[in-house]
């Protein structure tokens, strides 16, 4: 993801050199297909989202009534919106701790701790990333199922008690069940990024640390972590950005329930627009999400610039 930001500044500095000389028409001709699809499916909808958030209209009642900023005033007082917002933040924070923390540990072990079986181990750990979130959600519904679930059985065998309404049916627990599945699915993703970065650390640094008498744990803290500083910032940003994009997993595991306890901004937008039919209000929530996403984008841009 930072790759794009680095390139953006690289592109600014460097003039591309073509041995065929400058040819504006040919250049524009080649970017035209990409630009027209963007304009149609990203730029135009983006502007329309901003405009539509000021109107009241529904899926079945397409006549638009101008309501100004009243949707935004409503958002401020909407408890469900704040639950969704808070849930996105909880998902981001737990994601940083669990996915990046464990991903880092796994990457460090694969990079320097073990010698055999690396490719098999990494193939296993990456695997959940390629399977659709819907398939993974269904699989975990089975695991959490109060009648046939593996977790239920495990708790029973250990003599522990389980929640009365099941793992996904208890409003205090459901969000953490979702976070757990996210951890299972995405930790491997963080591991890949961190492992690639670790493999770029010059081996001499480790040898020098060894000469100074540092064991593997000390050299992890004194060599690996400082060298990974920038990549870790990238990982935190990726995790926060994806936390605000969560939708599929919530949809298939709880649909935002029980109550609104697992509602996230993505599911709240979809629910408002296509279930309740409050298109204008959904657009106002979308604008809030856009502001957050673009804000995070700017943070990322700044971070990658400062490092230069």
Q: Pick out residues in 139-198 that bind another protein (CB under 8 A).
A: 139-140, 142-143, 145, 147-150, 153, 184, 188-189, 192-194, 196-197
Task: Select the residue interacting with another protein from 54, 75, 104, 110 (CB under 8 A).
Answer: 110
89 interacts with another protein by CB under 8 A? no
63 interacts with another protein by CB under 8 A? no
CA distances from residue 142 to 10, 154, 280 in whole angstroms, order as listed: 48, 14, 37
Q: Measured from the CB atom, is 106 or 175 closer to another protein?
A: 106
96 interacts with another protein by CB under 8 A? no
Q: Measured from the CB atom, is 42 or 225 closer to another protein?
A: 42
Stretch that binds another protein, among 23-31, 81-89, 168-176, 203-211 (CB under 8 A): 23-31
Is omega for the bond preceding 258 within 30 degrees of 0, making it cis? yes
223 interacts with another protein by CB under 8 A? no
What is the size of the binding site for another protein (CB under 8 A)? 115
The residues, any chain, with a CB within 8 Å of residue 17's CB and separated by 6 or more, are: none
Residue 198: which of 112, 96, 100 has the closest Cα?
112
- Rounded least distance, CB 8 to another protein, Å: 5
The residues, any chain, with a CB within 8 Å of residue 223's CB and separated by 6 or more, are: 201, 205, 206, 209, 214
b/e string for 171-196 if b means 16 or more Cβ within 10 A? eebbbebbbbbbbbbbbbbbbbbbbe
- Rounded least distance, CB 204 to another protein, Å: 20
Q: What is the residue-wise DSSP string for 204-241?
A: HHHHHHHHTT--HHHHIIIIIHHHTHHHHHHHHHHHHH
80 interacts with another protein by CB under 8 A? no
- Rounded least distance, CB 82 to another protein, Å: 18
Stretch that binds another protein, among 70-78, 81-89, 113-121, 168-176 (CB under 8 A): 113-121
Q: How far apart are CA 98 and CA 281, in angstroms?
A: 34
31 interacts with another protein by CB under 8 A? yes
Q: Measured from the CB atom, is 123 or 172 closer to another protein?
A: 123
**Phi then psi dihedrals of residue 260, to 5 deg:** -120, 25
Q: Measured from the CB atom, is 173 or 252 closer to another protein?
A: 252
Residues 248-287 that bind another protein (CB under 8 A): 248, 251-252, 265-266, 269-270, 273-274, 279, 282-283, 286-287
Q: Compute and round to an integer the Cα radius of gyration of the chain.
A: 24
């Amino acid at each position: 993801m930072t790759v794009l930001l680095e390139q953006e500044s690289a592109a600014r500095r460097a003039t591309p050199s073509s041995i065929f000389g400058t040819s504006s028409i040919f250049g524009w001709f080649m970017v035209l297909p990409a630009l027209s699809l963007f304009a149609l499916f990203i730029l135009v909808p983006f502007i329309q989202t901003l405009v539509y958030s000021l109107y009241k209209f529904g899926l079945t009642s397409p006549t638009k009534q101008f309501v100004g900023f009243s949707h935004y005033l409503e958002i401020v007082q909407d408890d469900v919106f704040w639950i969704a917002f808070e849930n996105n933040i909880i998902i981001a924070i737990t994601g940083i701790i669990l996915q990046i923390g464990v991903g880092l540990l796994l990457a460090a072990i694969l990079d320097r701790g073990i010698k055999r079986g690396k490719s098999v181990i990494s193939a296993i750990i990456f695997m959940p990333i390629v399977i659709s979130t819907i398939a993974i959600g269904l699989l975990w519904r089975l695991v959490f199922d109060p009648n046939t679930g593996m977790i239920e059985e495990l708790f029973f065998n250990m003599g522990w008690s389980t929640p009365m309404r099941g793992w996904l049916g208890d409003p205090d627990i459901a969000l953490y069940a979702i976070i757990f599945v996210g951890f299972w699915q995405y930790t491997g993703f963080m591991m890949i990024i961190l492992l690639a970065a670790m493999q770029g650390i010059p081996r001499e640094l480790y040898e020098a640390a060894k000469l100074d008498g540092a064991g593997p744990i000390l050299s992890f803290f004194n060599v690996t972590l400082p060298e990974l500083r920038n990549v870790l910032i990238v990982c935190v940003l990726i995790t926060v950005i994806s936390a605000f994009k969560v939708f599929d997993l919530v949809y298939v595991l709880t649909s935002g329930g029980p109550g609104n306890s697992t509602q996230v901004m993505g599911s709240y937008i979809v629910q408002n627009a296509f279930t309740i039919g409050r298109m204008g209000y959904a657009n106002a929530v979308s604008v809030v999400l856009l502001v957050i996403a673009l804000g995070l984008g700017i943070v990322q841009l700044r971070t990658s610039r400062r490092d230069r």
